Amino acid sequence: MYKTILVPVDLSEQGYTDKVVKHALGVLEPHGQLILLTVVAGYQMPLVGSYFPPGTFNKVIKDIRQQLTDFVAQQLPIDPSECTLLVEEGKPADLILSESVRVGADLIVMASHKQSRLERSVLGSVANKVVGRSDIPVLVIKG
């Protein structure tokens, strides 16, 4: 059993992320801390950010946080107040690793998306990067 579990949540993966979170709940200690992290990739890069009016990023973060809260309330057997919900911007693998350290997680539970051999060898995946660089155990749920 694990005391603090970080679960990266991809809100675009309907019907799959809930399975990943349920696995995390299965190995979470009673009264343990479940932290759900959604990463918004690349929005504040100057090239990307220059296409949007000021204040748009804050609205996007607020909207995604609400989507995450709704996801927990509608899809999971827990109340959103029973877990910590984080929405951050940046490179997914880097943020997952840095947040796991910041929150003192002792396990990361995440999804692995199906990829071709070319995608795995050339691009890698977020799950591959996290597994390869993490100092704590990573439970990968295959998709």
Please return the burial class of 90, using the count of CB atoms within 10 Å of its CB with bins 0-12, 13-18 and 19+: middle
The conformation of residue 65, written as its DSSP 8-state character, comes to H
Q: What is the pLDDT of residue 36?
A: 97
Q: What is the pLDDT of residue 18?
A: 86
pLDDT digits 0-9 by tens, 47-78: 666 677 777 888 888 999 999 999 999 988 88
Structural contact between residues 80 and 67, judged by C-beta atoms closer than 8 angstroms: no
- pTM tops 0.85, yes or no: yes
CATH pick for 2-142 out of 3.30.1600.10, 3.40.640.10, 3.40.50.620, 3.40.50.880: 3.40.50.620
Cα–Cα separations (whole angstroms), residue 53 to 57, 58, 60, 112, 118: 9, 11, 12, 34, 37
Q: What is the pLDDT of residue 58?
A: 83
Domain boundaries, the chain: 2-142
**Mean pLDDT calculated for residue range 21-40:** 94
